[in-house]
Amino acid sequence: MDLTKHAFFEGKIIPFAEAKISIATHGFLYGTTVFSGMRAYWNEEKKRLFVFRPFDHFHRLLNSARMMSMDIPYDEEGLIQLTLDVLRMDDWKENVYIRPTIYKADMGIGVRLHNLKDEFAMFVTAFGKYVSNDADAHLTFSSWRRIDDNAIPARGKISGAYANSALIKTDANRAGFDEAIVLDNNGHVSEGSAMNIFMVRDGVLVTPPATDNILEGITRRCVIDLARTELGIEVVERSIDRTEVFVAEELFMTGTAAQIVAATKVDHRSIGNGKMGTITSKLRILFDDIAHARVPKYRDWNVEV
């Protein structure tokens, strides 16, 4: 983290180093915080920074806030403007990650959602790869289960729910894997610790539906659109059984931080021919170009800073 940059905190843009909450803050004590993770990409040719699909990220953030009985005085457009204001305070010339949060801001004891003040905050950090082995990842099936919609909705990006993701990620990494696939309580594939999952079976791109305890990923939505429009392949949203993954031709995971991670092995079994597949490879190249605002047809996916 670069302490010399700026953040949005308690209604103002201030130096990041001064944006601090108390150890008694509700959102910190009880995980009653919702968040988003966006990226802005540096386009070297244009020498400009472009935020990737901020409207979608803020729309999901406000939906998460609704689930958690939170209310802030901004809509999507207002939040995009704040993001641009924060980014323009600093001279970023590289890819960055933007973390907006809405949190229960009162101090004190008492777990609940009602009669608490909500605050919006946001910071920016330089950001490279999230999964270092993103062209050849080895996944495992986690022994943890995905949180259920009736416990903590995975559809909401709720801080407290990320204890589940942390357990999944750490156990996978400590066992020597790059990332894990998590099953939901019905035994179906849901997603990774912080990314959605896709497989190619018989030439069809398949991903779990929004009702299988996933976060409704923005990268997931982009990949579905691009696969249909640019690659002309069929995309199906349906439940996936554990062993289907072993017999898939291709497997990859998607997320804002992760982008598109090609998985070539799951629990020591090779996926397809054990190398990144052609559909995965095409989508990775396409997505990277679009995210960096290099594709005129998709320029409305990027907001110039």
Residues assigned a catalytic role: 157
- Position 25, amino acid: T
**Buried b vs exposed e over 90-120: b needs ≥16 C-beta within 10 Å?**
eebeebbbbebbbbbbbeeeeeeeeebebbb
- For the bound state, the minimum distance from the C-beta of residue 40 to ligand PMP, rounded and expressed in Å, comes to 14
How far is residue 287's CA from residue 291's CA, in Å, rounded to a whole number?
A: 6
Q: Which stretches of the chain bind ligand PMP, using CB under 6 A?
A: 37, 165, 191, 194-196, 215, 217-220, 254-256
Number of Cβ atoms within 10 Å of the Cβ of 300: 8
- For the bound state, the minimum distance from the C-beta of residue 141 to ligand PMP, rounded and expressed in Å, comes to 16
How far is residue 92's CA from residue 189's CA, in Å, rounded to a whole number?
A: 38
- Outline where DSSP puts E strands in 90-218: 96-104, 118-126, 137-145, 179-183, 189-191, 196-201, 204-207
- For the bound state, the minimum distance from the C-beta of residue 257 to ligand PMP, rounded and expressed in Å, comes to 6
Among residues 100 and 255, whose Cβ is nearest to ligand PMP? 255
- For the bound state, the minimum distance from the C-beta of residue 126 to ligand PMP, rounded and expressed in Å, comes to 18
Among residues 189 and 195, whose Cβ is nearest to ligand PMP? 195
- For the bound state, the minimum distance from the C-beta of residue 245 to ligand PMP, rounded and expressed in Å, comes to 17
Task: Report how far apart, in Å, the C-alpha atoms of 303 and of each of 44, 51, 112, 222, 272 are.
Answer: 16, 5, 37, 16, 37
